[in-house]
């Protein structure tokens, strides 16, 4: 699945498969303005760290075209404001910040270009980032697939699949890699309250690919592991700190603790640029606090008493000592993470 993020030359805009309605409806969402890019990011029309990075890269192009159409004289500061808006849409995934910074770097490198020229340079770079993400995921699949054994059942949390990337996926890339290597495996997708990325999205894409998948309630994890039904855990990451702590969807930390308790290998799969050398530990990562409505409601139906407050912190850091290995497109990083990550960046 690679068509869920598309650049349409005819409409000159970014077209996204609207993940809010999956698996029941395949609707498409056109982004022709910065506000639409921002809206798609914050409401999770598109979600998943690499996918929001790719969206942000195209988003900079969309912003540049918008400024061009407006005819504003000081186009440079108008554009800078729009880039800031895109960069701030979601705070946890480093990929969003990375993509906007990369477009700023490309702008600086291009020198004293016209807005029309900048549009051309940015669209080309966004397309490269888009294609490069699929290549990285396939390499993650190759290295990670080798860690999975014939007959394994792999548990995953959230959706770190094709939908969360430009295609193939990171955690689901590892699963696809194992399948491509001829292994017969199956998957347990934790449902992942409150947005249900596991139940809706992981199940959707694996089922579509014919990879056996069962959805389990988040709170079934301990029992399933105790019963010997899980041989490996593989999850994605929104940001990996310099010491190897990995921040991923809320609930991942608990899954990692349980995996440690039951002696089950716990892998994190992510491209190298998800590792943020500027962030020393997982506790330094800003955790997105999302709308209470995701917890208080299922669809339009309210499930908590009116007026009751809720928590909706969207991510948690898993400490590095719970992580067996970090699978990247350059190979698997093992402990000691701080030293091995530093070597990778050196």
Whether 238 is catalytic: yes
The residue assigned the tokens 């699978």 is 327
Enclosing H/E stretch for 345? helix 337-345
HSE-up (13 A, CA, CB side) for residue 83? 21
Residue nearer to ligand MRU on the CB measure, 49 or 100: 49
Residues in contact with ligand MRU by the rule CB under 6 A: 47-50, 93, 158, 160, 164-165, 170, 197, 236-238, 248-249, 314
Which residue in 238, 245, 276, 316 is the catalytic one? 238
Residue nearer to ligand MRU on the CB measure, 83 or 158: 158
Q: Is the backbone of residue 166 left (phi > 0), alpha (psi -120 to 50) or beta?
A: alpha
Contact between 79 and 67 under an 8 Å Cβ cutoff? The reply is yes
How far is it, in rounded angstroms, from Cα 219 to Cα 254? 10
Count of CB atoms situated within 10 Å of the CB of 208: 11
Residue least distant from ligand MRU (Cβ): 236
Residue nearer to ligand MRU on the CB measure, 158 or 199: 158
Contact between 202 and 156 under an 8 Å Cβ cutoff? The reply is yes
Residue nearer to ligand MRU on the CB measure, 232 or 249: 249
How far is it, in rounded angstroms, from Cα 276 to Cα 48? 17
Beta-carbon contacts of 155 under 8 Å, excluding residues fewer than 6 positions away, are 187, 188, 190, 221, 224, 225, 230, 232, 233, 234, 255
Report the candidate in 297, 295, 343, 273 with the shortest Cα–Cα distance to residue 97: 273
Residue nearer to ligand MRU on the CB measure, 93 or 188: 93
Please report how close the Cβ of residue 193 comes to ligand MRU at its closest, in angstroms.
12
Enclosing H/E stretch for 221? helix 221-226
The catalytic residues are: 238
């Amino acid at each position: 699945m690679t068509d869920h993020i598309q650049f349409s030359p005819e409409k000159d805009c970014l077209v996204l498969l609207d993940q809010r309605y999956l698996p029941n409806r395949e609707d498409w969402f056109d982004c022709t303005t910065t506000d639409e890019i921002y809206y798609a990011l914050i409401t999770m029309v598109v979600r998943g760290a690499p996918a929001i990075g790719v969206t942000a890269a195209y988003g900079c192009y969309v912003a540049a075209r918008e400024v061009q159409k407006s005819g504003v004289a000081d186009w440079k500061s108008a554009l800078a404001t729009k880039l800031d808006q895109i960069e701030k849409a979601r705070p946890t995934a480093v990929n969003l910040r990375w993509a906007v910074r990369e477009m700023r770097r490309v702008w600086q490198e291009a020198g004293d270009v016209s807005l029309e020229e900048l549009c051309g340079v940015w669209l080309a770079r966004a397309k490269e980032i888009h294609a490069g993400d699929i290549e990285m995921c396939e390499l993650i699949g190759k290295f990670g697939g080798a860690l999975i054994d014939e007959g394994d059942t792999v548990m995953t949390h959230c959706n770190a699949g094709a939908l969360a990337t430009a295609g193939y996926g990171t955690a689901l890339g590892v699963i696809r890699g194992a399948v491509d290597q001829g292994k017969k495996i199956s998957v347990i997708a934790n449902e992942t309250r409150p947005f249900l990325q596991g139940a809706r999205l992981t199940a959707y894409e694996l089922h579509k690919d014919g990879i056996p998948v069962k959805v389990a309630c988040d709170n079934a994890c301990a029992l399933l592991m105790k019963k010997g039904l899980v041989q490996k855990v593989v999850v994605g990451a929104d940001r990996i700190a310099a010491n190897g702590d990995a921040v991923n969807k809320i609930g991942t930390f608990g899954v990692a603790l349980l995996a440690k308790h039951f002696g089950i290998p716990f892998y994190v799969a992510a491209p190298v640029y998800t590792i943020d050398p500027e962030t020393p530990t997982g506790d330094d990562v800003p955790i997105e606090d999302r709308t209470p409505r995701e917890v208080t409601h299922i669809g339009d139906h309210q499930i908590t008493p009116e007026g009751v407050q809720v928590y909706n912190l969207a991510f948690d850091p898993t400490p590095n000592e719970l992580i067996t290995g970090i699978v990247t497109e350059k190979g698997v990083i093992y402990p000691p993470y701080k030293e091995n990550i530093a070597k990778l960046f050196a």
